Structures are given as C-alpha cells and as structure tokens.
Amino acid sequence: MDIYSILFWVLSVIAVGSALGVIFSRNPVNSVMFLILTFFAISGHYILMNAQFLAIVNIIVYAGAIMVLFLFVIMLMNLNADVEPQKGQLVQLAGVISGGVLFLVVLAAIKSAKGEVIDTHSTDIGLIANLGRVLFTKYVLPFEISSVLFLSAMIGAVVIGKKEPVHEGVKDEQHN
C-alpha cells in the first residue's frame, strides 16, 4: 500500500464522515463546520490529483467565502440553537430510502466501468500557467459571460435584499 492509497482512503473517510455529519447534526453551526471539513478533504483530493490551483481556489472560495456567508446568515438569524422542527419519521425514512435507491441504481450502472489505475506521477496540467493559457484561449467567451453572470447576481441580491417601501393601501388597512 503506497502513500497515495493511504492518503486517498484517509481523505475519503474524512469527506464521507463529515458529509454525514452535515445532514445529521441538529445544530446548523455544527453543520457548517462539518461542511468546511468536507471541503478541506476534497481539497486534499485535488492536491493528490495534481490540481493545485483548484485546491487553493476551493479553500479560498468555498471554505473562505461561501461558508463564512452561511455562518454570517445563521448568526444573523440567531439559528444556532436546535429549534428546527423535524420532519416526520416516515418522511425522513423516505428521504434516506430514495437517496439510497439512487445510490444503488447508479452504482449498478457504473459498476462495470473499467477503471484505470491513476497515474501517481505529477503532471503540470493543474498548474496555473497551463490553466490560464487554456482559459484565455479556448474558454475566453465563457469567461467573459461569467462576468455578466456575476454582475446580474450582484444586482439581483441587492434588489431582493432591499427593504420594500410600505404601501399606502396596506398602511390604511392596518389602521382600519
């Protein structure tokens, strides 16, 4: 058993265990912490597969920005207690069964896929020089379109989050 396999299994156990922690922990803050742990394990997998740039971006964007946003919203709403009403036992069981059935069906479909042994030698396709070259030649149009997407998401978030002015009619109804 070489070092690659040992690291693969350790990171996989961490990723799956903390993903289960996300969906089973009662406190939303604990869920966020488990999800951050999952993202770190997935970043470890990226480093194993010579995708160093994506590993760093995954930590910066997901663990650094998105999860902080989640934590910020949870703290803002004061949800860090386990006050969430639970779904019925039957509905939870149905959720687990349907997820498990999906797992089994896709597992049966991909079981016959011929696996190739992963080449553990390092390559330079995941380095930022190579990725940047491909991004700015082959994928320059999607790159520019994603800037428009970001702009519209920013405007959308501001518009949704804006406080609505109280309508006159509503005010009158409240007085009456």
Site for other proteins in 51-90 (CB under 8 A): 51, 53-54, 57-58, 61-62, 65-66, 69-70, 73-74, 76-77, 79, 84-87
Q: Does 130 bind other proteins (CB under 8 A)?
A: yes
Q: Does 122 bind other proteins (CB under 8 A)?
A: no
Q: Does 44 bind other proteins (CB under 8 A)?
A: no
Q: Does 128 bind other proteins (CB under 8 A)?
A: no
Identify whether the C-beta of residue 28 lies closer than 8 Å to the C-beta of residue 106: no
Closer residue to other proteins in complex, CB, 2/168: 2
**Cα torsion at 162, 66, 36, 48 (round to 10°)?**
170
Closer residue to other proteins in complex, CB, 119/173: 119
Closer residue to other proteins in complex, CB, 107/175: 107
Integer Cα distance of 49 and 124 in angstroms: 11
Q: Does 102 bind other proteins (CB under 8 A)?
A: yes
Q: Tell me the closest approach of the beta carbon of residue 168 to other proteins, in angstroms.
A: 20
Identify whether the C-beta of residue 10 lies closer than 8 Å to the C-beta of residue 3: no
Integer Cα distance of 109 and 103 in angstroms: 10
Output the six-digit token pair for 105. 């069906």
Going by the DSSP 8-state scheme, the letter that residue 119 receives in this structure is -
Distance of CA 166 to the CA centre of its chain: 37
Integer Cα distance of 100 and 116 in angstroms: 26
Q: Does 149 bind other proteins (CB under 8 A)?
A: yes
Q: Which of 75, 81, 103, 171 binds other proteins (CB under 8 A)?
A: 103
